[in-house]
Amino acid sequence: MGSDKIIERWVPQFRKGLLEFIILLKLQQGAIYGYELAIEIKKLTSIEVAEGTLYPLLNRLKRDGLVTTEWQTAEVGTPRKYYKITTLGLETLTKMKTVWTNTHSSILNMVMQS
């Protein structure tokens, strides 16, 4: 098996948890609805989030109180469910940033040593 195949299997695993972090980062900039969020994430990180990944994840964030939701209907178009980050979400995000920063510097050290 080539390394490409291995990477292909690894990347989704690598993303686990990371997606939650990325979504909260994006939500920090303002409320957004699911479909737009998927497009934004792809634009910003080149990560293609499947809808079967995104919606359950957003529901988990809501269940845990990190986001709230609000339906918005317009005269035209399908109703959109907007997600907004809560105080708890912002608190959590701050801690995630710390974990990310620490992990990054550890890994950077290991890369340097090699």
Nearest distance in Å: CB 67, its own copies: 12
Nearest distance in Å: CB 27, its own copies: 10
Using CB under 8 A, which of the segments 31-39, 48-56, 71-79, 106-114 binds its own copies? 106-114
Residue 32, beta-bridge partner list: 83
Site for DNA in 84-113 (CB under 7 A): none
What separation in angstroms does the CA of 85 have from each of 17, 23, 28, 33, 82?
Answer: 17, 10, 6, 12, 10
Site for its own copies in 68-97 (CB under 8 A): 88, 91-92, 95-97
